[in-house]
Structure 1
Amino acid sequence: MHNHKPIFFVFAGNNGSGKSTLRSLIIDKLGVDINIDPDAIARRFDPENPEDKRVSAGKEVIKSVNKYIEEGKDFSIETTLAGKNAIKQMRIAKEMGYEITMFYVALSNVSQNIERVAMRVKNGGHHIPTEDIIRRNRTSFKHLYEYTYLIDNLVLIDNSEDDGGEIVLEINNGKITFETTNLPNGPYLFKINIERIKVKPIF
C-alpha cells in the first residue's frame, strides 16, 4: 500500500482536444506508470473500426480501474467525460480515499474538435462521426459542471492554439486558485457556473 494518499489522474476533454498528447507530455513528471486509455483499448479490439468496440472497451476500463483502486495504486485514465463511467469511477475512488486530479483540455469551439479529428484521420487515425463529437462536447462540459465537487484538483487547459496548451483556470479543494485574464469560451462558460457547481472563488 502507499504511504500517501493515492491519486486518480483524469485526462478529460472532447475528441480532438489533445488530451492524449498532454498526457504523454506530463505523465513522467507526475510519476504515474499506469494509464488507461479507452480509445487505445478499442483500437486493440478492432483497429479498423474502434468506435464499434466502445462498449467492450468501456467494460475493460471498468475492470482495470476497479483493480487499481482495490490495490491503492496511482493511475490515470483518459475520457471524453461525455458518459457516466468515469464519474462513477471517480466517486468510488473518492470513497476509497483517493485524491482526484483532473486535467480538462478544451478548444475554443466544437468546430476545432471536428477539424482536428479530420486531420488525425488524414494522418492514419480513426474516424469519429461529427454528430458524436458535437454531442460529446455538450455533455462533457455538462458533466464537468455537475461533478466538479468530486475533483480535488482541477486544471483547465485551453489547447486552441497550435503552439501548445495554456492553463486558464485552476480549482483546488473547491476554490479558484488561478484564472487567466481572458478565459476562452469553454472555460468561461464553466466559470460563470461557479455558483451552480458549488465552487467558491478566493477573493
Structure 2
Amino acid sequence: MTGNTNGAARPQLLVFAGPNGSGKSTINKSVREHFSGEYVNADDIARTLTHIPDARERNLQAAEMARQQREQCMAEGRDLAYETVMSTEEKVADLITAHRAGYLVSLYFITTDNPDLNVQRVINRVAQGGHAVLEAQIRQRYARSLNLLACAVEKADNALVIDNSGSRTEIVARKKDDQYEYSVTALAPPYLEACYQSLKEREESLKFLTQGHQAWTFADASHGREYAGEGVITAWHIGLITPGGLEIHDRQLLSHVQQSGDHFQLAYAYQHGKRVQ
C-alpha cells in the first residue's frame, strides 16, 4: 500500500484488536515490552473515573477521552498503541487515517475459534474483578469483528492474526511488506479460511484496479467524507481517478454509492462507529 513515506522514520502505531475475551491485554503487554511509545487504553481510563457511579456512563466517558488522547498523539506524530474490539467500520477507517498521516501501522488481531470461549473468559474476568460485557454483545462483536478482519489486515502495513483458543497462542496469518502468509490447513478454524478467501479476492481486486498506476492510496474514509468522479468498481473496491493519482475506496466501509455509467458519488458516514446504510 502506498502512502506518505518520504524516507524519514515513520511514527509507529500498534493496534491490538479482536473480540472481547480474546486475550488482547495479555498479549499486548508482551509486545509493548519493546515499545516506548504512548499506550492509550479506555479500560485504564475508566478505572480512574471513580466519580461517575454509572458503569455505562463511565465507559462512554472513558472511550471519548481515549479517542481524544489518540487524536492528540497522532496530531503530534508520536508513537502510539491502543486496544480495540474493532467490531465497527470506523475503527478500520482509523487505520487508513493513520497511514495517510504517515504512520507505520502494525495490527495484532487476537481471537479464538469459538465465541463460547470468549463468553466464558469474560465471566472468569468478572469473577476476578474485571469489567463485564453482556453475552449478547460479546457474540455480536465477535461476528462483526471477524467480518472486518480481512478489511483491517488489508489496511495495515504489517499484521499478525493470533489464535488464542488454546493454552498457547498461535500465529495463523501474517502480513509483511505486502506479502501474506497463512496457516490454512484442514484443521484451520472457519474464520481463518474466510479471511484467507477474502484477502485473496481483495488482492486480485487491487491488482486489477492499480495496474498502470504508479501511485495509489486508500481514500480517507473518515466520517462525513464525500467523493465524486470517474472510476472503476469491483466486488470489494472502487477506484477513483483524482489529480493526485488513483484513490481506492473500500466498499465494506462506504455508506453511499451512486453509479451512473463510469461516474460515482461516494460517501462515508458512521453512527457509534457503525457504517450508516
User: TM over 0.5, yes or no?
Assistant: yes
- Normalized per residue, which structure has more helix? 1
Separation in 1, partners of 2:202, 2:60: 29
Tell me, yes or no, if the aligned pair for 2:17 and 2:24 is still in contact at 8 Å: yes
> Which residue does the alignment assign to 1:66?
71
What is the aligned-residue RMSD (CA, Å)?
Answer: 2.4
Tell me, yes or no, if the aligned pair for 1:109 and 1:185 is still in contact at 8 Å: no
Separation in 2, partners of 1:111, 1:129: 13
Matched, 1:103 2:108: yes
Change (3 A) 1:85 1:161: same
Change (3 A) 1:5 1:33: closer
Equivalent pairs counted in the alignment come to: 197
Any idea what the Cα deviations from partners look like across 1:17-42, whole Å, max 9, x if unmatched? 0000001112112x234111122223
* SS of corresponding position for 1:125: coil
Tell me, yes or no, if the aligned pair for 1:6 and 1:99 is still in contact at 8 Å: yes
Any idea what the Cα deviations from partners look like across 1:133-157, whole Å, max 9, x if unmatched? 0110111112222333211111010
> Which residue does the alignment assign to 2:192?
187
- Normalized per residue, which structure has more strand? 2
Change (3 A) 1:199 1:35: farther
* SS of corresponding position for 2:199: coil
Tell me, yes or no, if the aligned pair for 2:184 and 2:192 is still in contact at 8 Å: no
Change (3 A) 1:177 1:80: same
2:180 to 167, 176, 185: 176
- Compute the displacement of 1:48 (Å): 6.9
Separation in 2, partners of 1:166, 1:173: 21
Tell me, yes or no, if the aligned pair for 1:9 and 1:77 is still in contact at 8 Å: yes
Matched, 1:40 2:44: yes
Separation in 2, partners of 1:70, 1:116: 36
Matched, 1:94 2:96: no
Separation in 2, partners of 1:171, 1:199: 16
Tell me, yes or no, if the aligned pair for 1:110 and 1:134 is still in contact at 8 Å: yes
Tell me, yes or no, if the aligned pair for 2:154 and 2:199 is still in contact at 8 Å: no
Unmatched segments (≥5 aa) in structure 1: none
Aligned-pair identity (%): 25
* SS of corresponding position for 2:200: coil
> Which residue does the alignment assign to 2:119?
114
AA in 2 matched with 1:37: N
> Which residue does the alignment assign to 1:23?
28
User: Which protein, 1 or 2, shows the higher relative CO under an 8 Å CA cutoff with sep ≥ 6?
Assistant: 1
Change (3 A) 1:48 1:20: farther
In terms of mean alpha carbon deviation, does 139-148 or 175-184 score higher? 175-184
Higher-Rg member (1/2): 2
- 1:76-95 maps to which residues of 2 (within 5 A)? 76-95=81-100
Separation in 1, partners of 2:46, 2:149: 24
Separation in 1, partners of 2:129, 2:189: 30
Separation in 1, partners of 2:141, 2:173: 21
Separation in 2, partners of 1:159, 1:195: 24
Separation in 1, partners of 2:102, 2:178: 17
Q: TM-score, normalised by structure 1?
A: 0.86
Unmatched segments (≥5 aa) in structure 2: 1-7, 206-277
AA in 2 matched with 1:87: V
